[in-house]
Amino acid sequence: MTSRRDVLKAGGVGLTVGLAGCSTGGGGGDEAEYDIAMIYALGGTGDESFSDAANAGLNRAAEEFDISFDDAGPQSNADFADFQNQFARSEDPDYDLIICLGFEHVSPLQENADEYSDQNWALLDAVLDKPNVESWVYAAHEGSYIAGEAAATLSSMEFSAGGGSTDPSNTTIGFVGGAEVPAVQEFEAGFRAGAQSVDEEFELLTSYVGGFDNPGDVEEAAVSMIDSGADVLLHGAGAGGSGLFQACQDRGRFAFGADSRQSETASDFSDIILGSIIKGVDTSVVNAVERVVEGEYEGGVSFELSAGQGGFEVPWGVEIGEEIPQDIKDQAEATKQAIADGEIDVPSTP
């Protein structure tokens, strides 16, 4: 089976000059065994974060398995249902799995999972109990715990690197979230718990700006936190996170990024990004595809990827990561192991 796009592309490849007849050509192209569809979160790829991570996972899966894929990025709340419909209706190719990224897919998928009951679906970062949907969620609060621990340790000592420095005189750090929903609140919960594991005194300033695409609001919230003494901040605000980096850079404080390695993706701010908490979105895409390819897909189940299963990563910043004291990094590794072994129980609600 070959995806429609591949057929069309193959048609184009045959042409050397001119445009005519290029969509009718055929032949050639890779005969992929499985066809996968991916529908991203609102905004689609190019967010340097959530959707891009899913895209990376998809590309990795395409290297590992014999699949071809098509993808689409919703631009408004009507697009989730539309794209779900369109992929599910498609007969050429007939998709073996449609992957839906993010909680915004839940309500349209409630309907579409019933309507297209013989279509296999995978839902990432949210849970839906349907016999033909497999849900994948991440223990991101555990990654957030590790970041919180490092943040508190750095905040309590004299530390300066790149464009920032900490203020050991107080015990305040900050968190700015997008929407106040469980998937974001768990970042807050883990960050606070991690910080307080270092010192009970630590206070976490918290603000939710209401959306994942408004850097201006995030910056405002971050500035007021920094002015209140916060010296290490974490965001869970999607594309709005750049506002937090801007605030930290302007005032010489540090930040943790989220959802992708932001010291690379937001390289303008790499001089203040200590590290990033990355949900294992890419891992879950590969796993979801693998279950289909290996014939293990059963539907109606949900998986939480935790510390030991690639549920998250906390890579240090590419620019200033090296200046972070080694014992903090060792501690982070030890904590991750302890969480995986069940020795530390990280809360997922604030």
Partner 1 sequence: MSPLKERFEGLLGTIVRLSTGQRILVSIAAVIFAIGVGVLVILAAGSVASCGSPALYIMGVEFCYNPLEVWLVMFDGSFGGNFEISRTLRWTTLLLFTALSFAIPYKAGLFNIGAQGQFVLGSLGAAVGVIWVATVVPGGAVGRIVLVPTGLLAGAAVGGLYGFLPGYLKVRFEMNEVVTTLLFNFIATAVAFVLVDRYFVDESIQGTQTEAIPEAAELNPQFFANSADFSLPVFVFALGIVAAAYWLLTRTTVGYELRAMGSQQKAAIFGGVDERFTTLFSMTTAGAVAGIGGALYVLMVLGRWQTGPPPLGFDGIAVSILAGNNPLGLFPSGLLFGALQSGGQAIQFQLGIPSELVGVLRGLIILLVATPELFRMMGKRLNRRGVIDIETEGSN
Binding site for partner 1 (CB under 8 A): 4-6, 8-10, 12-13, 15-20, 22-23, 29, 42, 44-46, 70-73, 75-79, 81-83, 85-87, 89, 103-104, 106-107, 111-112, 115, 126, 179-183, 210-211
Q: Min. distance of Cβ 330 from partner 1 in angstroms?
A: 36
| Sheet strands (E) in 12-127 | 34-39, 67-72, 97-101, 121-124
CB of 108 to partner 1, least distance (A): 9
Whether 173 and 142 have beta carbons less than 8 Å apart is answered as: no
CB 198 within 8 A of CB 188: no
Q: Which is nearer to partner 1, 133 or 324 (CB)?
A: 133
Quick one: 59 or 170, whose CB is closer to partner 1? Answer: 59
Q: Least distance from C-beta 30 to partner 1, angstroms?
A: 9
Question: Other C-beta atoms within 10 Å of 213: how many?
Answer: 15
CB of 347 to partner 1, least distance (A): 18
Query: Could you tell me if residue 18 is left (phi over 0), alpha (psi between -120 and 50 degrees) or otherwise beta?
Result: left
228: CB partners within 8 A, 6+ apart: 172, 205
DSSP of 242-309: HHHHHHHHHHT-EEEEESS-HHHHTGGGTTTEEEEEEE-HHHHHHHHHHHHHTT----SEEEEE-GGG
**CB 107 to partner 1: min, Å:** 6
Q: What is the DSSP letter of 315?
A: P
Nearer to partner 1, 56 or 328 (CB): 56
Min dist CB 48 to partner 1, Å, is 14
State the DSSP code for 317: P
- Please say which residue, 133 or 150, places its beta carbon nearer to partner 1: 133
Name the residue type at position 268. D
SS3 content of the chain, % helix, strand, coil (to 5): 45, 20, 35
Identity of the residue, 18 or 27, whose beta carbon is nearer to partner 1 in the bound complex: 18
CB-nearer residue toward partner 1: 23 or 169: 23
Q: Based on CB atoms, which residue is closest to partner 1, 134 or 231?
A: 134
Rounded distance between C-alpha atoms, residue 21 and residue 287, angstroms:
40
CB of 42 to partner 1, least distance (A): 5
Minimum distance of partner 1 from residue 78's CB (angstroms): 6
The torsion angle over the Cα atoms of residues 214, 217, 221 and 224, rounded to 10 degrees, is: 140
